[in-house]
Amino acid sequence: MQYDGKAPPYFRGDASDKYSVDEWEELMDVYLKKKGVPLAEHHQEITSKLMGKARDIVKITLRNNPSLKPHENPKAIISILKQHFSEMLYSSMPLADFYCTVPVTGENAVEYWIRLNKAVDVADECLKREGRRVEEPSREVTRMFVKHCPDPSLAAVLKFKSADKWTASEIQERLDDYQAEMKAQSLTKPRRLPVKPVTAHAQTTTPDDVATTSCPIVPPARAEVMAMPPTQFDGNSMQALVRLLDRALSQNSQAAVRGQHLSDPVQRRPCRTLRSDEDPEQLYVNACTAVPEGVTVVMQNTQKIQPFSELFYAPVIVNSQFQLKGMLDSGSMACTFSEVAEQKMQEENILSESKPIETQVVLIGCGGKQTKPKCAYEVELQVYGVKCVVPVLVVPGQHDDLILGTNVLKHIMHQMKNSDEYWRLISNGSPQSSPECAQFLDVMASVSRWRGEETPSKVGTVKLTQAVTVLARQEHLVWGRLPSNVPMSLGSTVVVEPTSSKSMPGNIMVGRVVTPLWGDRWIPMKITNLSDKPITLKRNCKLADVSPCLAAEDFEVFQSFSHAEKVAQEKQPTTDHRSTDLKQRLHDVGLSQVDMGSWSASHTAKEQLVQLLENYNDVFSKHALDCGKAEGFVHRIRLTDDRPFRLPYRRVPPAHYQKLRQVLTEMEEQGIIRNVTS
């Protein structure tokens, strides 16, 4: 069969070329591979597609440098073309050029990342001509990007770890999120209005009672009023939490416009805090169009307030006498005091005598920093009306006075779940609430709550995409898929339960599973076959219903309730029971098929043989799917060949389809094979 594909165009090396030399190289490689040209004839095909200046330069260079040998290395011709016609500069100091690649004016983070990768490719290609290479090019690109990131917000994120600890894949993930955020902002950004020229104005600021800053921003004259009334709840243990959430929700609603005309050039205007979805530039344009002639609008200190400023801090009463500001940290396992807080409470005689730490405790903080606590106190803490006695560690160098760990947070959430107000607050969360408030509710509910205007009572029913055979009296992990027309909330926690459909097959038990909702609509299910024979579940079989999960709680684990019992020492087994004991030992390691009756050896020799079989039982196959694993070496399987050949497909008879699916499913469950991810 002859190749009927289109050949690449001629390359002349002037302005008439439609493709660059790099693009022309890719077209040529695809053409040679599909046509099946031998390697020894590549240089003839390449030179036949050259014309004009490009052909003359290649011809003269090959004639004056016989050591290139293009019939053995056809890439030498491409190297000559790149050296003369490439857009990239190939210098004698490629590494120096790469390390001088810094951001230019107006270049964003993604553009700088692409330019760095191109620069390291050029440096590597230049070093190849000298017989060298760039060691770990991805690592060098990552270091340069972390050091010279042009975006301030992204650079602040990258400063949390040193440049050596970042990987190229992690940088790519951050850039993908950054690109998506920039695209969303560009789509939601309103159209810029013409700015009215003004001349002079001076104004001062007055403090405001709620969420004020020092930025004198004039609110627009036609702004909508979106005031959210605070919600009142009852209950002593919930008042503090609800009041804090109401404050967070009210801060997100837009303040009412105090519509006083700007006739006085020195009129005082209150300072207001912008919402996260408000554009300061658009507010400035609206203010300029609303003011009269001769008035100048000035915006100062336009900076973004850091989130979680008050929402994740709660007042904590220590020993019913002293109040501290405690940070709710779901990433900490223990409660800790700072040395400053310890000194204040010692001066007030709040703390009792400290207890030495008998075991060695090491605390690992943000960025992997390790520290050791100085001592420990056993104190009574009161948070949101809930009292508990907790051992608290004193950590040198801690900035916050008190950090509340999960040992206290879980107890508080457990107590709050006994209140009806807690469930009303969790289930009726406002869809217009801020991300900080939603994240706080997720922490209090121990799940990722449903994102959307309305929480559905049921997401959908999971169906099988192919037939599955479950073995008798065994539990299997089976993946099903939701229909395409069901509501979705990516990342939200859902509960998988047995379906209420009448088409549910018999002798099948579906276990309850709490899992995130993935974007591809695949749902894991725990399937158990209760019968004594295998059961085949047909395609499109309905097995489970998926519902949103409002809250979850871990089971309490009671410790220090176990006790040891003394068992009377049994007598040594007699000679009649020795063979039975040896058979039992072989049965315990899965070698019950070994026939000891045919051994013509003494009992001592049999014991030694059984001991060897126990020590090296992993070299014997226990069942049909028991495969070994070699970690000392790795096989290399070539997926392409210079001269490929084609063999007829070995078709599987339709009668063997079910058996093949069963074997593949069993091999996947045993971890022998896995799905292709490429």
User: 537: buried, middle or exposed (CB in 10 Å: 19+, 13-18, 0-12)?
Assistant: buried
* The pLDDT of residue 641: 66
* The pLDDT of residue 543: 92
Say how many C-beta atoms besides its own lie within 10 A of residue 216's C-beta.
20
* The pLDDT of residue 466: 93
Split at pLDDT 50, 70, 90, the class of 241 is low
* The pLDDT of residue 525: 94
CA–CA gap between residue 142 and residue 98 (Å, rounded): 12
Q: What is the pLDDT of residues 518-553, one digit of tens each?
A: 888 999 999 999 999 999 999 999 999 999 988 776
* The pLDDT of residue 228: 39
**What is the average per-residue pLDDT within 249-264?**
41
Q: Are 376 and 393 in contact (CB under 8 A)?
A: yes
Say how many C-beta atoms besides its own lie within 10 A of residue 67's C-beta.
5
Residue 11 CA, chain-centre distance (Å), reads 46
In this structure, are strands 513-516 and 460-463 parallel, antiparallel, or unpaired? unpaired
Higher local confidence (pLDDT), 238 or 472: 472
Q: Are 5 and 35 in contact (CB under 8 A)?
A: yes
Split at pLDDT 50, 70, 90, the class of 199 is very low
Higher local confidence (pLDDT), 646 or 12: 12
Residues 6+ apart with CB under 8 A from 129: 79
Look at 2-6, 133-137, 513-517 and tell me which has the smallest mean pLDDT.
2-6
Q: What is the pLDDT of residues 365-393, one digit of tens each?
A: 655 677 888 889 999 999 988 899 999 99
| pLDDT exceeds cutoff 70 at 620 | yes
**What is the average per-residue pLDDT within 431-435?**
57
CA–CA gap between residue 62 and residue 439 (Å, rounded): 66
User: 297: buried, middle or exposed (CB in 10 Å: 19+, 13-18, 0-12)?
Assistant: buried
| pLDDT exceeds cutoff 90 at 483 | yes
Q: Are 279 and 217 in contact (CB under 8 A)?
A: no
Looking at the structure, give the CATH architecture of the domain made up of residues 460-548. Distorted Sandwich (2.70)
Kind plus residue range of the DSSP H or E element containing 669:
helix 657-669
Q: Are 79 and 129 in contact (CB under 8 A)?
A: yes
pTM listed for this prediction: 0.34
Higher local confidence (pLDDT), 47 or 551: 47
Split at pLDDT 50, 70, 90, the class of 261 is very low
Distance between terminal CA atoms of the chain? 30
**What is the average per-residue pLDDT within 405-414?**
85
CATH class of 313-416: mainly beta
Burial 391-422 (b: 16+ CB within 10 A, else e): ebbbbeebebbbbbbbebbebbbebbeeeebb
* The pLDDT of residue 529: 93
Higher local confidence (pLDDT), 339 or 25: 339
User: 482: buried, middle or exposed (CB in 10 Å: 19+, 13-18, 0-12)?
Assistant: buried
Please state, for a pLDDT cut of 90, what percent of the chain lies above it: 14
CA–CA gap between residue 643 and residue 39 (Å, rounded): 10
Split at pLDDT 50, 70, 90, the class of 600 is confident
Higher local confidence (pLDDT), 431 or 13: 13
Q: What does the block give as tokens for 577?
A: 């029971």
Among 65, 75, 61, CA closest to 125: 75
Identify residue 276 by its one-letter amino acid code.
S
| pLDDT exceeds cutoff 60 at 206 | no
CA–CA gap between residue 212 and residue 122 (Å, rounded): 53
* The pLDDT of residue 651: 80
Q: Are 63 and 32 in contact (CB under 8 A)?
A: no
Split at pLDDT 50, 70, 90, the class of 95 is confident
Mean pLDDT (the chain, rounded): 75
Kind plus residue range of the DSSP H or E element containing 440:
helix 435-445
| pLDDT exceeds cutoff 70 at 245 | no
Strands (E), 329-459: 335-337, 363-364, 370-371, 375-383, 386-394, 402-404
Higher local confidence (pLDDT), 159 or 265: 159
Higher local confidence (pLDDT), 637 or 470: 470
How much is the CA Rg of the chain, to the nearest whole Å?
36
Q: Are 357 and 376 in contact (CB under 8 A)?
A: yes
- Ramachandran assignment for 489, one of left (phi > 0), alpha (psi -120 to 50 degrees), beta (any other): beta
Strands (E), 291-395: 313-318, 322-328, 335-337, 363-364, 370-371, 375-383, 386-394
Higher local confidence (pLDDT), 535 or 623: 535
Phi, psi of 89 (to 5 degrees): -90, 125
CA distances from 371 to 335, 363, 395, 617 (A): 14, 5, 8, 44
CA–CA gap between residue 428 and residue 424 (Å, rounded): 6
Residue ranges of domains in the chain:
21-85, 94-188, 313-416, 460-548
Q: What is the pLDDT of residues 320-372, one digit of tens each?
A: 889 998 888 877 888 999 999 999 998 888 888 888 887 777 787 655 677 88
**What is the average per-residue pLDDT within 286-311?**
62
